[in-house]
Amino acid sequence: MIKLQGMEFYAYHGHLPEERIIGRYFYVDVEVEAGIDKAIYTDNLKDTVNYQDIYNIVKREMAVPSHLLEYVAGRIVNSLKTELPTIRKVKVAIRKNNPPLGGKVECAEIQVIK
């Protein structure tokens, strides 16, 4: 299992027009199950999934404004599995702090596991 936790991105996601104009910080956690067994013995990056590749894919997908976090997470999952074929399973969680819900809410979080 490989995890990247607390990745922070300023992005323009949300159903309300103001959210796509003003933007806000989002936090992303990614967990991947991948073929990393060989790297345990070889100490060679080519035998695992490079964290930088995961981060770059997440960053690219977070930069595309969307109405729904579910859609963003789905794109991240699909891109990770397509571009890094040794990945067997992916869990993506995206948090929006202080969502505009008319009351005090620390964050809204969605998770997609595929």
Q: Which residues are designated catalytic? A: 96
Q: What's the distance, Cα to Cα, between the start and end of the chain in Å?
A: 14
DSSP string, 1-52: -EEEEEEEEEE---SSHHHHHH-EEEEEEEEEEE--HHHHHH--GGGS--HH
